[in-house]
Structure 1
Amino acid sequence: MKIDFKERTPQLIALIGVLLIVTVVLIGFLVTRNSQMKEMQEQFVIDKQELEDEYEAISLQYEGFKFSVQNDSLLYRLQNEQAKVLRLQEELRMTKATDRAEIKRLTDELSTLRRILRSYIQQIDSLNTLNNELRAENEQITDRYNRTSRTLQQVSQEKEQLSEKVSLAAQLVATNINAKAVNDRGREQSRLSRSTQFVVNFTIARNITTEPGERTVYVRILTPDGTVLSKSPNDKFPYENSEILYSMKRIVEYGGEEIPVTMYWDIEEFLMPGTFKADIFADGHHIGSHSFLMED
């Protein structure tokens, strides 16, 4: 039996057409499938990179806390959390982008880390608020302390000034001062060759503000060359943080009213003519002076 190919030609053409269509469809499906797989792989890589970026952002936030958190206990806990983040970062780095189960686990871990981070941020904000309040309160206390110190200093200065005024008011004053030389008969002389004594007399003025009681009054007689007449090098009294020589001294009972005082110096040394000076001291103060001229 012979096959009539002429009669079968339309059928063959139809069969070939169907096969071509199936082949084209299959090729199209495979191409689309490969394209989708490639896109999925690229998306997996992108997702992993985004996840790595988020882990890095959290790690940097924990790193920044080292410079702003002063509480040691809280800082220790933050460092532990940062160590956990770094460990998960390393796990993510070693995970393939296509390992969806591991990627999902690390994504869930990231959500947990975010919640923990938010709680720490709230604690830090609360501590910062408290620190700011304490700092403001400390500034107020410091300001009050400084104002009080200035007030106390001012009061102390005023008290010191008042004390100085009282001290000055209570200071004895010598008035009616006279110094001269006399001979054996007590007559005033102008020549040293005829003189046997220097006589210094004065009045301690009335002062009711000073404390009554005994007072030691000192007189220093200075020669024209500035030498202090003194019977002994041990005849000294305190004055302005030092010890200085005196010529004569006398203890008087002072009750606030004026009293006359007279002191005598026996001339036993050779003296040069010129201007002599008598300085009077009491209670550590210089209370008067008088100069007088003597001839040879």
Structure 2
Amino acid sequence: MNKNQKKLLTAGIAVMACFVALIIWLIVANSRNTAAVNKAEARADSLAIANDQLVLTNEFNQLSADFNQYEGQQIYLKNDSLVHKYNEARMKVEGLIQELNDEKSKNAKNMAASRAKIKQLEGEIATLKNIVRHYLEEIKRLGEENEDLKQEIQQVQQKNEQLSSQYTAATKSNAELTQTVQLAKKLNITGISFQAYNKKGKTEKNITKARQLGVHFTVSPNNTTAPGMKDFYIRILSPEGTLLGGGPSFQLDGSTISSTSHRKVEYANEELSVAVYWDVNTTLTPGDYTVEVFCDGYRLASRHFTMKK
């Protein structure tokens, strides 16, 4: 082998060696690139799953907040089946979120399982959305019904208050009317006088010599009063305020009252003159005497008369 051939052989071997080295380097570089790509893809998948999980978790939290906002109005619901369904769906979502959190620390071989759980989580949250939407619609509807009911109750209460006011006014009016009728039945007397008489039955100006006292008055006509026998009672008070007694008692405003004298007369709704006498049985003194006349539970008159010696 000549010198030139040796040079060619050496150069060929060197070229082959470089070629082999290049192939080896390419294989190694490709292997490294594949690993990097796989790692990047796994990282990207993990980030995508984490992002999806974050989005779904936020969505779940928003649904929970919407539901809890109206939780105090559950009393409007006629049954709790809707709340029961919500709680079941919420527990499923919370369980899936917890499982995804547990798998964050695991390797890439669980990526497919995580994606499956994300898919399941999306479905459960969609179900939860429907439940919450139905719940809120039901709460709104029942709340509106309750508001309408409140307005109806308020209207009824106002009506009752009006009726109560009308009843009170009518009762008061009836009471006033009854009182008016009762007062209308009360007899009216006029021309009341007070006289002293001596032992001969003549008028006596000296009160100390009086043997009899007489009260005279006229009863006016009154068609409202029932006709019939009427009991007229008189009370005579001395200047010292002592009742000149001896007559029968009578009722006045639930109390028993003593009288000086009494007379029963028949009243026919026409003008009637009445005289009631009292025989003196005590010493009389000059001064102001008070004379009162009563009939049918009413005091018809009260007058003061000055009697001299």
TM-score between the two structures when normalised by the length of structure 1: 0.84
Where does 1:233-272 land on structure 2 (aligned, <5 Å)? 235-272=248-285
Displacement of 1:19: 4.7
RMSD over aligned Cα atoms: 2.9
Greater shift in the superposed pair: 53-62 or 193-202: 53-62
Displacement of 1:50: 3.0
Where does 1:96-115 land on structure 2 (aligned, <5 Å)? 96=100, 97=103, 98=111, 99-115=114-130
Match of 2:108 in 1: none
Decide which structure has the larger Cα Rg and report it: 2
Match of 1:278 in 2: 291
User: Structure 2 residue aligned with 1:160, among 172, 175, 181?
Assistant: 175
Q: Which runs of 5+ in 2 are unaligned?
A: 104-110
Match of 1:186 in 2: 201
**Runs of 4+ with >6 A deviation:** none
CA distance in structure 2 between the aligned counterparts of 1:214 and 1:39, rounded to whole angstroms: 120
CA distance in structure 2 between the aligned counterparts of 1:29 and 1:171, rounded to whole angstroms: 125
Residue-by-residue CA offset, 1:123-159 (whole Å, 9 max, x unaligned): 3333233333333333333333333333343333333
8 Å contact 1:221–1:279 — kept in the other structure? yes
User: Structure 1 residue aligned with 2:96, among 92, 99, 111?
Assistant: 92
Residue-by-residue CA offset, 1:211-231 (whole Å, 9 max, x unaligned): 222322221111223222222
- The residue type paired with residue 83 of structure 1 is N
CA distance in structure 2 between the aligned counterparts of 1:89 and 1:31, rounded to whole angstroms: 35
User: Structure 2 residue aligned with 1:214, among 229, 232, 238?
Assistant: 229
CA distance in structure 2 between the aligned counterparts of 1:133 and 1:246, rounded to whole angstroms: 69
Displacement of 1:195: 0.9
- Count of residue correspondences: 293
CA distance in structure 2 between the aligned counterparts of 1:174 and 1:182, rounded to whole angstroms: 23
Q: Which runs of 5+ in 1 are unaligned?
A: none
Match of 2:107 in 1: none
Identity of aligned residues (%): 26
Greater shift in the superposed pair: 219-228 or 5-14: 5-14
CA distance in structure 1 between the aligned counterparts of 2:228 and 2:298, rounded to whole angstroms: 17
Residue-by-residue CA offset, 1:168-206 (whole Å, 9 max, x unaligned): 333211100001221111222233321111111111111
Asked if residue 38 in structure 1 is aligned to residue 43 in structure 2, the reply is yes
Residue-by-residue CA offset, 1:21-53 (whole Å, 9 max, x unaligned): 554454344333323322321232232233333
User: Structure 2 residue aligned with 1:122, among 133, 137, 142?
Assistant: 137
Match of 2:81 in 1: 77
